[in-house]
Amino acid sequence: VQLVESGGGSAQAGGSLNLSCSASAYALMYMAWFRQAPGQKREAVAAITTGGSSTMYRDSVKGRFTISRESGKNTVHLQMNSLKPEDTAMYYCAAYPSSIYRSASTCFTLPYNYWGQGTQVTVS
């Protein structure tokens, strides 16, 4: 399975960016976005269940970021609004193939085994 990310780039504080990620597989997948800033640990940002009905966000992005997935596809988007300098990081798309139902609250701790190459987001 390959994850291909697009989007990212530079934005001013208060601006918006949109990230996209497409998986080269048709299996049911939980998908998520993680980020890692220089010298920091990787952290989960947002996750979405296989059907797209449930989502989860880390507290610092709630109300600003929205994760969504295209119906019937393993393509997810992360709309990032009201960006802050502390959102600056490399953003990674991750996927975990599974047909077992799990609530959104568990999506940050799933054993994601497929990762994208990362896309840089810089907010100044």
- Are 48 and 69 spatial neighbours (Cβ–Cβ below 8 Å)? yes
Q: Which residues of the chain have pLDDT under 50?
A: none
pLDDT at 67: 97
Bridge partner list, 67: 78
Sequence-ordered alpha helix ranges (H) in the chain? none
- CA torsion sign for 87, 111, 39, 4 is negative
Rg for the chain, CA atoms, rounded: 13
pLDDT reported for residue 71: 81
Q: What pLDDT is attached to residue 36?
A: 98
- In the structure encoding, which two tokens stand for residue 29, read together? 């997948």
Closest CA to 48 of 91, 110, 90: 110
pLDDT value at position 86? 97
